Amino acid sequence: MNTSLLIIIFVAVMLALAFLPWAHRTWTNRQRSRLADSVGTEVGEGRGFEHSDDDVQETRATSGREEELPSGSMRERLSKARGMISARLSGIREESVNSSMWEELEEVLILADVGVDTTLDLVSRLRDTAEAEKLEKGADLLEALKAQMKSDLSRDRKLSLTASQGAVTVWLFVGVNGVGKTTSIGKVARRLTDDGLDVLLAAGDTFRAAAAEQLEKWAQMCGADFVRGSEGADPSSVIYDSAEAALAREVDIVLADTAGRLHNKVNLMEELAKVRRVADRGPGEVSEVLLVIDATTGQNGLSQAKEFTEAVGVTGVVLTKLDGSAKGGIVFAVERELDLPVKLVGLGEGDLDLIDFDPELFVEALFGDD
C-alpha cells in the first residue's frame, strides 16, 4: 500500500471521528422527538425537585429554570375542584357567621372528598378559632379556614436522594392497576435527567410486557439507562440487578416500576413486601417508596394506601389526575388519616405536568381567590 493511499485513509478516518459527535446529537434529538410523540408527550424544559442533596440543590440553583408552577396555572388546572368548592362557598362569603353556616361548610368539604372524620375535625377547630377571634363575617371565616388548611398541610415533602456510601439510591413506585405508575416514573425520570442526574429505569413489572416497553421508551427519550428481565421473571431480581448495574455505571438513582396489584390480595402484597426488602439490600438503598393514587378515585384511595403502607412502608404519595377530579379534598384525607405527605401531583398529560405539591397554591386554587 503506497504512502498516498495511507494518507487518504488517515484523513478519512479523522474526518469521520470529527463528524460522529454531530451525527450522534442529531440522531439523539430525532429519537427524543419521535419517542415523545409515541408516548403522547412533548419534550420541553423540566422543573426541579426539592432534594436534600447539596449537589442537586446547586444544579437547580444554577439551571435558570422556573421551579414552581405559577399560581394562575394551578387555579386553571384545578378548575373542576375549584368550581365545585368556590361556587358553594360564595354564599357563605357574603353572609354573617350563623349556625347554619357550619352545616354548609361540612357539606362542601365532604362533597370535595375531604372525608367525614377530617371534615368534622376541620370544622370543629374552625369553630374554636371563630369563637376565640370573634369572627362575624363569612369572608373572615373562610380566610381562617384557608389558614387552617395550609397549616394542616405544612410538612416536609422533599424527595430523598441520599444513600449510604457504596450504595445507590432506589425509589420504588407502587400502587393498584391503572393509576399511572409507569407514566409517573417516566415523568419523574424526565425531570431528574433535566436536572443533570444519571437515572436508571428498572422494569419491575415483569407480568405486563407493555409496561416494560413503555418504560424503555421513556428511558430512551430521557437519555436514562434501562434494565428489564424476561417476561414472568422474579421482579425482586430485576430490581436487584438494576441496582447492581447502576452502581457499576455510577448512576445516581434507580426508579423501579412494580406490577399493579389489588391492595386486598394478600399473596400479591407479600410479594411486594419481598420486592421492597430485596431492593434495600446490597447495592441498593430504598430512600423513597412512592404510592401512586388516582385522584379521581376519591376515598377509595385511602384503603389502598393503608394496605400498601403496612406492606412496604410508603414514604409519600404521587397523586395523579388531580386536574381531572372535582374531589381534590382527598389530599387532606390522605395526609391526616394516613400521616403520609403528598409529594407529587399530576396536573395534565404532558411530561412536565407532574409537579411538586405546593400546599399554599393548592389551597388558594381550591378557594378560587384572585
Angle at 86 between CA 84 and CA 89, to 5 degrees: 110
CATH top class, domain 168-314:
alpha beta
pLDDT at 54 over 70: no
CB-side exposure of 343: number of CA atoms within 13 Å? 25
Given a contact cutoff of 8 angstroms between Cβ atoms, the answer to whether 227 and 242 are in contact is yes
Rounded to 10°, the helix 116-133/330-338 angle is 90
Confidence bin at 251 (pLDDT 50/70/90):
very high
Class of the 71-152 domain? mainly alpha
Structure confidence at residue 172 (pLDDT): 95
Higher-pLDDT residue of 217 and 86 is 217
Domain ranges of the chain: 71-152, 168-314
Q: Which residues touch 235 (CB under 8 Å, ≥6 apart)?
A: 204, 205, 206, 229, 258, 259, 271, 275
Share of the chain above pLDDT 70, in %: 74
pLDDT for the residue 42: 30
Q: What mean pLDDT, rounded, does the chain reach?
A: 78
**pLDDT tens digits, residue range 287-343?**
999 999 888 877 777 777 788 888 889 999 999 888 776 667 888 888 888 889 999
**pLDDT, mean of residues 332-358:** 87
